[in-house]
A and B are shown apart, each in its own frame.
Chain A
């Protein structure tokens, strides 16, 4: 069981993710845009963040950059979701410290593996 935050403005995807993670036994919270998400990260103890790229007010990259600038939050596992399949975006996200960059549409099974790997990293 882990505390996971979902930041996603598209209601259908967000709702499905919440359902999925709850069914997987996690404590799930969500935010509808980047700014609200960043606030939630700062105010809630979390083990992982799943964040969309294109959102109003503050996009996923800006959220990620804000976390990197914060020593306490820099190590918080961050998985980026994106409708953009451009390789530059992937590189940019990883360079900024995202653990994974997942392009839509994605398979929940694959997402589950990513979450597991980041919650319980295998040593070495």
Chain B
């Protein structure tokens, strides 16, 4: 040990031998100070600092050590450190280590920080960081140790490590694929994700998440993602589709959650391939459905018996036995078998079990719990059932079939009776017309029941031999073709009296005429008699209806069942053309016809009758008025048919229309008269007042009037008389025009020249308007055949009006223009205009617009203009805007 120590302890204390005494004293003092300082420092250190001597006995123990390890300095100092803080399992190693160090100077622990568990006073072990250093050379003076409690850090690390391990093992070995998506990109994927998505791991990272989805699912997923991020709580599980590179589609079951990934929001999605599971589930589901559908809804009952036990019963089987499925499983149905059928069932079973061939189908009766029996057709087959052999019995209800069979049998029995006791005569004849068999009725019809000989040959029953031959021929013809022969004819009884008979015959066998014929004969004398009477009566009645003066129709569902001659004549069709046809053809308007249908049906149902005036259309398209009245064949039931009568009221309607027109004319005349009266009172009284006052002045004050005044008064009289004459002329003019007596004497005239002269004439009347009139005449003459007097009325009236009705001034225009075949004369002003609603009446005599105010006028000027234009075969139009003025345009033909 000494040998080793010499070589292995090269470090010596540099201060140990090289200090002089004063230095030493100084140093001692300093050292004392430093030691106190150090002790203070150590005392307040949070970690434990402790010392031990070379034997491992504790020499120093700071408060940190007490806090961490639990021992007080008093308890610790002097004790072996290893006993105090080293867990028993490390003690041996610890002692050996120390010994080794003291012997060899080699240590694995000195001057290093090691992590180890330390023992506390309370026996608990805590993780610590331990560092040990030697004090003095070779540790002969002991060791210092530094112990730091790292429990918390250790715990944190440990939990981190465990969590990471757990996480890794979960994520890596998760049965599910898992990806983390952040900002729409895959930032993490586990190996299973790569497998499930069939995308290699490196490629998967950084992929856009939408590219992982089937195109059809992208919108839906994006929407869910947005909703989830907005905070909506959505079911986390969904099924989405994955479109593989090879074009295949697989179902993935996914569940996604919001998660933080490296501190930022992300979506964590787990998914697994659900395609196969889905397919299996679906297949199972389908198979189950098919099975259930077949077994439960099959119209046959199904029962499986195994080892004499009922192991399966479907609902239909139980239903047929009128038991519950449970009862049938428990009790079987043996007790329900009809006693008469039990032996056969027993026997069959016995033989089948004995291995004999037994018919698999037979019919038995089941006794029903309430009453009666049900016929069941049973079919038995051997089937494997749950791995063993069983018998599957099908039950079908054949009660109906049985009932049918029973009925058929009785029918056959009855038939013989019917043939015999039928009131219809029935007979079988040989090919040569001899009776082979005839029933009682046949004998009675021909009076052979009292005759010993009975019926022998049919020939004797015909009215005559000729009839016999004739009918015999057509009978042979039809019968050979396999058809029935039918006719109504007069026949003869054995006693020679005649009867009407209905005869119908047929070959017994079409392909073997030798088997003869079968005949049915009925005595229809009474019916014939009735028919004849009816025919007679009907034709009488029809004759009456047909000669009626009103149209009569029986219509059913708006179709003419029957029409009389008068109606046909009214609408211009033949009766045959009308009957069977819809009534729509005689109505001018389909929509009106449809509306009429609704109206009349309502009225017929409510009141039982319907009356209406309406226009109908004749075949030639002409429309005429009728009064129509209908009544149901059965009261208030239009479906039973409706009897209609039609009365042509064209003349009455015409009279009504004429009356209405006359009334309208009367009203117009009244209007004209009142307008005339009002015009006269205004327009005649004014000049009369001038004349009368003038006359009085001259008479009573003539001597006192200056000559100038007298002259003016005479002038007043003259102009007033002229004014009245002018008005009278206009009234007469209109009178003549209305009486169509206006003279029209056209001469060849140049309109341009005439208009120039007329403008001058107007200006003489209205000198103040000289600078307001603007004329626009074409350079070439407009020569045509015009009546100069009438043209004068047109131009003078229009221009005077233009000036008169623009009291505020404004331009008055006269424009002439020649066009192909005609010319236009346009007079415009910027005056008061004509209210829009009154334009229509503008050209009526004595009509004056409501906005004329006190502007004087007779209301005749424009009426005269209109008449004058009309006589020329032209037209006059007016456009007016009360804000902007009026334009009259006269269009005259130029020959």
A is bound by B: yes
Q: Say yes or no: A104 contacts B688, CB within 8 Å.
A: yes
The answer to whether B421 has its CB under 8 Å from any CB of chain A is: no
| Nearest CB of chain A from residue B180's CB, rounded to whole Å | 95
Number of A-B contacts (CB under 8 A): 78
Q: Say yes or no: A105 contacts B688, CB within 8 Å.
A: yes
Out of B689, B700, B716, name the residue touching A106 (CB < 8 Å): B689
| Nearest CB of chain A from residue B67's CB, rounded to whole Å | 116
**A23-B704, A83-B681 as given contacts; A105 in contact with B696, CB under 8 Å:** no
| Nearest CB of chain B from residue A73's CB, rounded to whole Å | 23
Give the segment of B71-79, B546-554, B705-713, B768-776 that binds chain A. Answer: B705-713
**A12-B720, A56-B854 as given contacts; A20 in contact with B686, CB under 8 Å:** no
| Nearest CB of chain B from residue A113's CB, rounded to whole Å | 13
Q: From A59, which residue of chain B is reached at the shortest CB distance?
A: B854
Q: Say yes or no: B701 contacts A23, CB within 8 Å.
A: yes
The answer to whether A43 has its CB under 8 Å from any CB of chain B is: no
Q: For A56, what are the chain B residues with a Cβ–Cβ distance below 8 Å?
A: 807, 853-855
Q: Say yes or no: A106 contacts B686, CB within 8 Å.
A: no
The answer to whether B736 has its CB under 8 Å from any CB of chain A is: no
Q: Say yes or no: A104 contacts B686, CB within 8 Å.
A: yes
**A10-B690, A106-B692 as given contacts; A16 in contact with B713, CB under 8 Å:** yes
Alpha-carbon distance A20/B702, docked complex (angstroms):
11
Q: For B691, what are the chain A residues with a Cβ–Cβ distance below 8 Å?
A: 105
Out of A9, A20, A54, name the residue touching B682 (CB < 8 Å): A54
Q: For B701, what are the chain A residues with a Cβ–Cβ distance below 8 Å?
A: 19-20, 23
Interface string of A54-69 (1 = CB under 8 A from B): 1110010000000000
The answer to whether A44 has its CB under 8 Å from any CB of chain B is: no
Interface string of A2-35 (1 = CB under 8 A from B): 0000000110110111011001000000000000
The answer to whether B582 has its CB under 8 Å from any CB of chain A is: no
Q: How many residues of A contact B (CB 8 A)?
A: 26
Q: Say yes or no: B685 contacts A107, CB within 8 Å.
A: no
Out of B682, B696, B712, B713, name the residue touching A109 (CB < 8 Å): B696
The answer to whether B694 has its CB under 8 Å from any CB of chain A is: yes
Q: Say yes or no: B694 contacts A16, CB within 8 Å.
A: yes
Q: From B716, which residue of chain A is reached at the shortest CB distance?
A: A12
Alpha-carbon distance A56/B856, docked complex (angstroms):
10
Q: Say yes or no: A12 contacts B690, CB within 8 Å.
A: yes
The answer to whether A118 has its CB under 8 Å from any CB of chain B is: no
Out of B687, B693, B854, name the residue touching A16 (CB < 8 Å): B693
Most chain A Cβ neighbours within 10 Å, of B689, B713, B719: B689
| Nearest CB of chain A from residue B724's CB, rounded to whole Å | 11
The answer to whether B187 has its CB under 8 Å from any CB of chain A is: no
The answer to whether A114 has its CB under 8 Å from any CB of chain B is: no
The answer to whether A108 has its CB under 8 Å from any CB of chain B is: yes
Q: Say yes or no: B697 contacts A20, CB within 8 Å.
A: yes
Alpha-carbon distance A10/B723, docked complex (angstroms):
13
Q: From B719, which residue of chain A is reached at the shortest CB distance?
A: A12
| Nearest CB of chain B from residue A89's CB, rounded to whole Å | 10
Q: For B682, what are the chain A residues with a Cβ–Cβ distance below 8 Å?
A: 54, 83-84
For chain A, residues 38 to 60, give those with C-beta under 8 angstroms from any C-beta of chain B.
Answer: 54-56, 59
The answer to whether A1 has its CB under 8 Å from any CB of chain B is: no
| Nearest CB of chain B from residue A83's CB, rounded to whole Å | 4
Alpha-carbon distance A60/B694, docked complex (angstroms):
23
Size band of the B side of the interface? 20 to 34
Alpha-carbon distance A21/B693, docked complex (angstroms):
12
Q: For A55, what are the chain B residues with a Cβ–Cβ distance below 8 Å?
A: 854
The answer to whether A85 has its CB under 8 Å from any CB of chain B is: yes
Alpha-carbon distance A29/B844, docked complex (angstroms):
41
Q: Say yes or no: B854 contacts A105, CB within 8 Å.
A: no
For chain A, residues 79 to 124, give those with C-beta under 8 angstroms from any C-beta of chain B.
Answer: 81, 83-86, 103-109
| Nearest CB of chain A from residue B444's CB, rounded to whole Å | 105
Alpha-carbon distance A55/B686, docked complex (angstroms):
12
For chain B, residues 80 to 112, give those with C-beta under 8 angstroms from any C-beta of chain A.
Answer: none
Q: Say yes or no: A16 contacts B716, CB within 8 Å.
A: yes
Alpha-carbon distance A81/B854, docked complex (angstroms):
15
**A19-B705, A20-B701 as given contacts; A103 in contact with B685, CB under 8 Å:** yes
Q: For B854, what are the chain A residues with a Cβ–Cβ distance below 8 Å?
A: 9, 54-56, 59
Q: From B709, which residue of chain A is reached at the shortest CB distance?
A: A19
Q: Say yes or no: B693 contacts A105, CB within 8 Å.
A: yes
Q: From B720, which residue of chain A is reached at the shortest CB distance?
A: A12
For chain B, residues 655 to 685, give those with C-beta under 8 angstroms from any C-beta of chain A.
Answer: 681-683, 685
Alpha-carbon distance A56/B851, docked complex (angstroms):
12
| Nearest CB of chain A from residue B840's CB, rounded to whole Å | 26
Q: From B807, which residue of chain A is reached at the shortest CB distance?
A: A56
Q: Say yes or no: B686 contacts A19, CB within 8 Å.
A: no
**A55-B854, A83-B681 as given contacts; A13 in contact with B689, CB under 8 Å:** yes
**A9-B854, A56-B853 as given contacts; A16 in contact with B686, CB under 8 Å:** no
Q: From A33, which residue of chain B is reached at the shortest CB distance?
A: B854
Q: For A109, what are the chain B residues with a Cβ–Cβ distance below 8 Å?
A: 696, 700
| Nearest CB of chain A from residue B782's CB, rounded to whole Å | 38
| Nearest CB of chain A from residue B859's CB, rounded to whole Å | 15
Q: For A85, what are the chain B residues with a Cβ–Cβ distance below 8 Å?
A: 681, 685
Q: For A15, what are the chain B residues with a Cβ–Cβ distance below 8 Å?
A: 712, 716
**A16-B713, A83-B681 as given contacts; A10 in contact with B686, CB under 8 Å:** yes
Out of B688, B693, B720, B807, name the residue touching A108 (CB < 8 Å): B693
| Nearest CB of chain B from residue A64's CB, rounded to whole Å | 16
Alpha-carbon distance A16/B807, docked complex (angstroms):
26
| Nearest CB of chain B from residue A49's CB, rounded to whole Å | 18
Q: For A9, what are the chain B residues with a Cβ–Cβ distance below 8 Å?
A: 854
| Nearest CB of chain B from residue A9's CB, rounded to whole Å | 7
Q: For B712, what are the chain A residues with a Cβ–Cβ distance below 8 Å?
A: 15
Alpha-carbon distance A104/B687, docked complex (angstroms):
9
Q: From B691, which residue of chain A is reached at the shortest CB distance?
A: A105
Q: Say yes or no: B693 contacts A84, CB within 8 Å.
A: no
Alpha-carbon distance A83/B697, docked complex (angstroms):
20
Interface string of B211-254 (1 = CB under 8 A from A): 00000000000000000000000000000000000000000000
| Nearest CB of chain B from residue A84's CB, rounded to whole Å | 6
Q: From B684, which residue of chain A is reached at the shortest CB distance?
A: A83
| Nearest CB of chain B from residue A23's CB, rounded to whole Å | 5
Q: Say yes or no: B693 contacts A13, CB within 8 Å.
A: yes
Out of A23, A83, A108, name the residue touching B685 (CB < 8 Å): A83
Alpha-carbon distance A109/B704, docked complex (angstroms):
16
| Nearest CB of chain B from residue A57's CB, rounded to whole Å | 8
Q: For A20, what are the chain B residues with a Cβ–Cβ distance below 8 Å?
A: 693, 696-697, 701
Out of A13, A83, A103, A108, name the residue touching B700 (CB < 8 Å): A108
Q: From B856, which residue of chain A is reached at the shortest CB distance?
A: A54
Q: Say yes or no: A83 contacts B713, CB within 8 Å.
A: no
Most chain B Cβ neighbours within 10 Å, of A9, A83, A84: A83
Alpha-carbon distance A47/B799, docked complex (angstroms):
44
| Nearest CB of chain B from residue A81's CB, rounded to whole Å | 8
Q: For A16, what are the chain B residues with a Cβ–Cβ distance below 8 Å?
A: 690, 693-694, 697, 713, 716
Alpha-carbon distance A81/B853, docked complex (angstroms):
17
| Nearest CB of chain A from residue B690's CB, rounded to whole Å | 4
| Nearest CB of chain B from residue A56's CB, rounded to whole Å | 5
Alpha-carbon distance A81/B690, docked complex (angstroms):
13
Alpha-carbon distance A105/B721, docked complex (angstroms):
14
Alpha-carbon distance A15/B705, docked complex (angstroms):
13
Q: For B688, what are the chain A residues with a Cβ–Cβ distance below 8 Å?
A: 104-105
| Nearest CB of chain A from residue B376's CB, rounded to whole Å | 109
Out of B683, B689, B713, B855, name the residue touching A105 (CB < 8 Å): B689
Q: Would you give 23 A-B contacts (Cβ < 8 Å), ordered by A?
A: A9-B854, A10-B690, A12-B690, A12-B720, A13-B690, A15-B712, A16-B713, A16-B716, A19-B705, A20-B693, A23-B701, A23-B705, A54-B854, A56-B854, A83-B686, A85-B681, A103-B685, A104-B689, A105-B685, A105-B688, A107-B692, A108-B697, A109-B696
Q: List the 10 shortest-distance A-B pairs measured between CB atoms, nearest first.
A: A104-B689, A12-B690, A105-B688, A105-B689, A83-B685, A16-B693, A105-B692, A104-B685, A12-B716, A108-B696
Q: Beyond the given A9-B854, A83-B689, A104-B685, could you list 16 further A-B residue pairs with CB under 8 A, ordered by the A residue number? A: A10-B686, A12-B694, A13-B690, A15-B712, A16-B690, A19-B709, A19-B713, A20-B693, A20-B701, A23-B704, A23-B705, A54-B854, A56-B807, A56-B853, A83-B681, A103-B685
